[in-house]
Structure 1
Amino acid sequence: MQFAKLLTQEQVERVHSASLDILEEVGLLVHNEKAREIYEKHGCEVNKETGIVKMPAKVVEEYRKGFVPRYTFTARAPEFDRTIPDNRPLVVTGSSAPNIIDPHTGKERRATSTDIANIAYLINELPGFDVFSISTLAADAPKGQFSLSRFYPALKNCKKPVRSNTPDMKDLYQVLELGYLIAGSKEAYFERPFINHHYCPVVSPLTMDVESTEAVIYLAEMGLPIYGTIVPNAGMTSPMTMVGTLTVGNAEFLALSVLLQMVRPGNPVIYATLPTVADMRTGNYTPGAIETGMLHMAHSQMAQFYGVPSGGYIGLTNAHSNDAQSGYETGMNTTAGLLAGVDLFNMGGLLDSLTAFDFAKAVIDNEIAMMLKRIKRGMEFSEENLCLDLIKEVGPAGMYMDKEHTVKHMRNIAYLPKITSRDMRSQWEDEGKPDTHTRAMQEVEKIFSGDTSSKFSAELDAKIRAYFPGIVPGDVCWNK
């Protein structure tokens, strides 16, 4: 597949050299002491008074030699493992929204661990999604179990790879203990580490925090799956030009990825970003803007230059409901990203600038995801598919509908959507004029009418609950 490009090769190389200049001359403010020590040990200049770390170009160039071209998301069940770029587009839910649109009342409220269980079950059943990045927080989390209250219901109800983060090391250790219990032992877990970790240790502009950086270093040392996302915001935390924002974000990606190579050579990375351009009329955050898609296209070119997979939060929306804005923001940005070579799409289920999960939105996004996967398949060019013999047989003014060839191919050539309406207007009117949101919620209800029992055995669940007294139920509950 030929990729669309916004930058020439010369421009890509200039962004790279400018990023090296930034890292060597401006540096990064690194708040984590261990990270500063690692950088210094490997040839960087550390100002112990200011915490500024300056990275010589030769050091960056040396450690980026360790970048590897693939990243695998491991699942509890091996058949759900996914590797990029081989399995692109890899479609992932949006994550960590504080709120949810209640599926029964339509009102926005704080999300709970039961909501996470319900979302996990839904994502497990939607074929367009490859990875469940835990979509919400859990307002009902018992004290001391913030992250357990998210990972437990997620892992309990979804066999696909599960991805999220933790606010501190204590929570990270708890989540890993949960993984050991599910796997049967620590050794078994390390053979197949099915909890996928993601953090944003670099805070634009050019700053590295304490807790997330600590977690990233620890996980890299342990050889567990970990990658970070870079989040520059033009006009706020990066220059108000797209090339300036691209360059700052690229420098931040290099700084984090070089650190991971210093900790463990060959550590897989994803060039993951959420680049935005602020709406300076209000200062509002704009993840749904077309510039987000354009920046992803450019970052994907940089990733191709470095030989690593790319992606991140693309296909998000600022819309408050499943309206035209929601559809065109998600559809335009993800299509642009796919055509430019983006591999990973955190695109599913969130409305309102990443603040609220909506079940209907997830089903709509599943349909968009399936369309993206259809684009990726391409036209499958071959002499057989030219169909010259068939065209000669049918001839002018003929009909293909009754041909065996049509029956053979009609289910695999076209993606057949479940909620997109293709009916005549009269039939649509007879059905009550349902809009896309309504049809999506009908599909949600259909999915939850099936078997929603836990994906854990009763024995395993009892073991987990005994190990973590007071843990949330973690079960699917679709009560109105």
Structure 2
Amino acid sequence: MTDTMTRRAGGRSARRAARAAALPDHLRPVRPGLSGGTYQPLSQAAMERIHQAALDALEEIGLSEAPASGIAAMERIGAKLGDDGRIRFPRALVEDVLAAANREITLCGREARHDLTLGGHRVHYGTAGAAVHMVDVATRSYRDSTLQDLHDAARIVDTLDNIHFLQRPMVARDILDNREMDLNTIYACVSGTTKHIGTSFTEPSFVPDALDMLHLMAGGEDAWRARPFVSNSNCFVVPPMKFATESCEVMEACIRGGMPVLLLSAGQAGATAPASIAGAIVQACAECLAGLVYVHAISPGHPAIFGTWPFVSDLRTGAMSGGSGEQALLTAGCAQMHKFYDLPGGAAAGIADAKLPDMQAGWEQACSNVMAGLSGLNMVYEAAGMHASLLGFCHESLILGDDLIGQALRCVRGIEVTEDNISLDVMKSVCLGGPGHYLGSEQTLGLMQTDYIYPALGDRTSPKEWVEKGKPDLVAGATARKEQILSAPAAARLPADIDTAIRDKFTIHLA
């Protein structure tokens, strides 16, 4: 009897050890690039109608305030500059550009294992935004965000399996010089994570210096151009239907430098975009189609993400409501239009109007993240950490968001139906002379890791166990995890010789 118990205990220990071992990526229950697209709030007829309305808007209304360089480039390929200063886009021109556009692009990480292939219904979640405050969960207060906060966010993202990329989520408000802020933003992000990074530039004249820094980080200009691991998040329009002149010049400089661009149209329904959800999607599509023509006119085939990012207003006050159900619908509808055009695309989800990581934040972040994933959105921006409708960022919420997004990704993966997992043979073996339950079956043990995902911080204990464990608090657990991550050396830190070369050439504010 003792031998039998020893053998059984050894078997359990072996199974526990096997479960604790990291699975190969292709066997993990969730992973970057899972295919969504099962949720479709727009019918085919509705998408056709939105597309035709967007073409009408481009042909009849056009966009104003393009820089002279952009006007010249777009006129060369068939856009028309009117006497009113608005540049208009004939339908045939837009259709030709759509036909020639990339159906798939790769956003590189500093390490190739973090490369993201955009296209189809492949889903990736990450951060974004330009929060000006940090949420301090200990004091339940807001303070100005700093460069160190940004670097810490990058370091945290580097450790989280379900956050696939880092787009700058906050502004380093402790750096007053805009050039130094832009350059230090890149340094803080790149030295914090080897995942793909998105950033913005205040002025076009800052782009060459940023490229010089990136060449040093990459090991030369050729190495950078072969694998650009930073993209430009570019608000190239000021809705409604107006080019942002200086941002367009930034975009041109980034294109010349080999940097992928996110064409970001961020109208606010009821304020700078039509209040109707369909109308907001029409305007966002029209603006991003104009951006696609612009990129094509500068450099055909340059990697560009179709970034329809319309936001929602609370029409009682006019304030932004990123955590609303309408926002979730708007983002899902935009994702469908990306697939209608067969373009790599991105939009915003996961934003909380809640000021702290509480129950309100949970339902707001979960609703839009799940719907974005199910709709097959390639790049789900602002998916974790963002509070107060983009005004505040929270490290603890970023960590909790990793758990939340893991569950969202499991929904995206859906239900596979095969001869094996129909499970008829397993049912027979359990019910006909078997133990009458599936707890110890080979199938159950085999699927524990490959088909089921478990929260790192979420609590699934019984009330009795919860009490015995000291009634653990979710946010306190996230704070402890944050401190653990930040107490270790940054895994993504740059090699010493490269770091020294960068510091010799640029004013770097991080110690």
TM-score by length of 2: 0.88
> 1:345: Cα distance to partner?
0.8
Q: Does 1:472 align with 2:509?
A: yes
Q: Which residues of structure 1 form unaligned runs of 5+?
A: 476-480
Q: Does 1:40 align with 2:78?
A: no
Q: Does 1:424 align with 2:462?
A: yes
Q: Which residues of structure 2 form unaligned runs of 5+?
A: 1-35
Q: Does 1:57 align with 2:91?
A: yes
**One-letter code aligned to 2:411:** I
Q: Does 1:29 align with 2:64?
A: yes
> 1:379: Cα distance to partner?
2.2
Match of 1:369 in 2: 405
Match of 2:26 in 1: none
**One-letter code aligned to 1:419:** L
Deviations along 1:19-38, whole A, 9 cap, x unmatched?
Answer: 11111111111342211122
Q: Does 1:406 align with 2:432?
A: no
TM-score by length of 1: 0.93
Match of 2:115 in 1: 81
CA contact (8 A) 1:276 1:289 kept: no
The 1:96–1:307 alpha-carbon spacing in structure 2 relative to 1, beyond 3 Å, is same
Query: In 2, distance between residues paired with 1:115 and 1:141?
Result: 12
Deviations along 1:234-284, whole A, 9 cap, x unmatched?
Answer: 211122212221111111111111111122222233222222231121111
Match of 2:273 in 1: 238
Q: How many residues align?
A: 472
Query: In 2, distance between residues paired with 1:431 and 1:140?
Result: 41
**One-letter code aligned to 1:357:** F
Match of 1:478 in 2: none
Query: In 2, distance between residues paired with 1:12 and 1:103?
Result: 43
Deviations along 1:63-122, whole A, 9 cap, x unmatched?
Answer: 211121112211111111111236832111123211112466553211111111211111
**One-letter code aligned to 2:408:** L
CA contact (8 A) 1:89 1:342 kept: yes
Match of 2:29 in 1: none
SS at match of 2:346: strand
- The sequence identity of aligned pairs, in percent, is 27
Match of 1:378 in 2: 414
Given candidates 149, 157, 161, the residue that maps to 1:123 is: 157
> 1:328: Cα distance to partner?
0.8
**One-letter code aligned to 2:254:** L
CA contact (8 A) 2:194 2:492 kept: no
Given candidates 259, 267, 277, the residue that maps to 2:294 is: 259
Query: In 2, distance between residues paired with 1:207 and 1:323?
Result: 38
SS at match of 2:400: helix
Match of 2:7 in 1: none
SS at match of 1:158: coil
CA contact (8 A) 1:317 1:329 kept: yes
Query: In 2, distance between residues paired with 1:89 and 1:235?
Result: 29
CA contact (8 A) 2:62 2:89 kept: yes
Given candidates 485, 495, 498, the residue that maps to 1:447 is: 485
When structure 1 is superposed on structure 2, of 434-443 and 13-22 the one drifting more is 434-443
Deviations along 1:184-240, whole A, 9 cap, x unmatched?
Answer: 212221121111111111111000011111121232344421121111212111222
What is the CA RMSD across the aligned residues, in angstroms? 1.9
Q: Does 1:3 align with 2:38?
A: yes
When structure 1 is superposed on structure 2, of 81-90 and 57-66 the one drifting more is 81-90
> 1:2: Cα distance to partner?
5.4
The 1:277–1:154 alpha-carbon spacing in structure 2 relative to 1, beyond 3 Å, is closer
Q: Does 1:212 align with 2:212?
A: no
Deviations along 1:362-421, whole A, 9 cap, x unmatched?
Answer: 011111221222223222221111222221111077022122332222122210111111
Deviations along 1:315-366, whole A, 9 cap, x unmatched?
Answer: 1111101111111111111111222222211112111111111011101111
What are the residue-to-residue correspondences of 1:262-273 with 2, within 5 Å? 262-273=297-308
Query: In 2, distance between residues paired with 1:413 and 1:62?
Result: 43
The 1:211–1:103 alpha-carbon spacing in structure 2 relative to 1, beyond 3 Å, is same
> 1:442: Cα distance to partner?
2.6
CA contact (8 A) 2:134 2:393 kept: yes
**One-letter code aligned to 2:388:** D
> 1:142: Cα distance to partner?
6.1
SS at match of 1:203: coil
Given candidates 106, 124, 146, the residue that maps to 2:181 is: 146
**One-letter code aligned to 1:457:** P
